[in-house]
């Protein structure tokens, strides 16, 4: 068993399989954090949305410029069918968070709840996570931010690359009903940073 940030892959897989992440609808602390971290008119991308309700909750909370992406077209079709009538302006599109192919510096914020953990489980996880970090940096506008909602403290170190000078802030909140803490990391791209990655 390979240990990752003092948290082995069995525990990580259990968290993923049983969705033991913090819930936006059930956590006033998470809602307060997101409202304080994101501008209502920001262009926000939720990466690896899967069938999570986080993007839906954010949209219903007033964040109307929101794009949900996932690599699974089947899951996206399910989400589109489920929310098309209720939220016709909520976008679900196919995309690989490690290689979106979008223009440099085109979004204000990236939100992730689970993609980092999922990538770390892959055989080439470290390479994928580095690609993810670089792609996030590339598509964020200067002053933009990536918010990581993590189930364990310490995972954020895998997004830190020497040539990507993120400013990082951390906040922990209790995971109600399942115990433990959720960890929110805000990765801020400096205002004077270039759009792409050299």
SS3 136: helix
SS3 155: helix
CA gyration radius, the chain? 16
pLDDT, position 154: 76
| Helix, strand and coil in the chain, % to nearest 5 | 30, 25, 45
Q: How far is CA 12 from the centre of its chain?
A: 16
Where in the chain are the domains? 3-141+161-188
Integer angstrom CA distances of residue 102 from 72, 90, 158, 196: 18, 19, 23, 11
Walking along the chain (198 residues) 10 residues at a time, the average pLDDT comes out as 42 49 83 95 96 94 96 96 94 96 97 90 90 96 95 80 91 79 92 61
Alpha-carbon torsion angle 156, 161, 166, 168, nearest 10? 20
pLDDT, position 114: 86
Q: pTM for the full model?
A: 0.87
CB 76 within 8 A of CB 70: yes
CB 46 within 8 A of CB 111: yes
pLDDT, position 10: 54
pLDDT, position 141: 97
The CATH superfamily label for domain 3-141+161-188 reads Vaccinia Virus protein VP39 (3.40.50.150)
Half-sphere exposure of 80 (CA within 13 A, CB side): 13
């Amino acid at each position: 068993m390979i240990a990752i940030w003092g948290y082995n892959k069995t525990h990580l897989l259990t968290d993923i399989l049983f969705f033991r992440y913090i819930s936006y609808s059930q956590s006033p602390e998470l809602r307060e954090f997101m409202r304080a971290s994101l501008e209502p008119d920001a262009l926000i991308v939720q990466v690896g949305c899967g069938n999570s309700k986080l993007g839906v909750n954010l949209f219903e909370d007033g964040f109307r410029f929101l794009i949900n992406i996932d690599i699974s077209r089947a899951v996206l079709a399910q989400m589109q069918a489920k929310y098309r009538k209720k939220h016709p302006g909520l976008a679900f599109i196919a995309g690989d968070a490690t290689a979106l192919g979008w223009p440099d510096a085109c979004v204000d914020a990236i939100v992730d709840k689970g993609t980092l953990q999922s990538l770390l489980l892959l055989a080439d996880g470290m390479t994928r996570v580095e690609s993810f970090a670089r792609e996030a940096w590339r598509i964020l506008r200067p002053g933009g931010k990536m918010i990581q909602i993590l189930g364990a403290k310490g995972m954020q170190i895998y997004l830190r690359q020497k040539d990507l000078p993120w400013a990082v802030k951390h906040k922990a909140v209790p995971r109600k009903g399942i115990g433990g803490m959720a960890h929110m990391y805000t990765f801020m791209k400096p205002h004077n940073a270039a759009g792409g990655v050299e």
